[in-house]
Amino acid sequence: MDSAHVQDDLVEVLFTEKQIQDRLQEMADQIAADYEGRDLLLVGILRGAVMVMADLARALPRHCEMDWIAISSYGSGTKSSGVVRLLKDLDTDITNRHVLVVDEIIDTGLTLSWLVNSLGGRNAASVEIATLLRKPEALTMPVEPRYVGWDIPNEFVVGYGLDYRERYRNLRDIGTLAPHVYS
């Protein structure tokens, strides 16, 4: 879906599809260099990271394995509930594996902080984070991603996997959702 289809729902487009693809390619090039000679397991966080994970994996100039985990701290609102729930665990044993958690956004950091601690307790060789977006002003938990596409203001954004009540995930761009949509 193009942002023109939902222009009345957006305050502004922050990143276009082209900008997103270009930035993911830059991140993939850095990841490939950093993990040279090591097997890499990408762990995507369902459902929001589907777009980021797919395009990042395709941009990597090397083999990688992929697995998925589903965790939530949101429910259907626009702010974190503060409680992390595991909805689907990994199918892959990560013992002695180099794990790169791929997410679309770091908001409060609660979910990723919980996940990194959980995966670290499974004897992974390393656990790092790649995220397309980060909201530094919203962080309440210490989370240090190794790869960040962009830092953004503490506003509610949708598109490219980011949703509001399961809508806007298939928007090709990332934009700020207009308050009239969720108030």
- φ/ψ bin of 161: left (φ > 0), alpha (ψ from -120 to 50), beta (otherwise): left
Number of H helices, E strands in the chain: 4, 9
> Do residues 158 and 164 lie in contact, with contact meaning Cβ atoms separated by under 8 Å?
yes
> Do residues 112 and 83 lie in contact, with contact meaning Cβ atoms separated by under 8 Å?
no
From the list 55, 103, 107, 173, the catalytic residue is 107
DSSP state, residue 16: -
Assess whether 107 carries a catalytic annotation.
Answer: yes
For residue 155, give both structure tokens. 């506003």
Give per-residue burial for 157-173: e unless 16+ CB within 10 Å, then b: bbbbbbbbeeebbebbb
Catalytic residues: 107
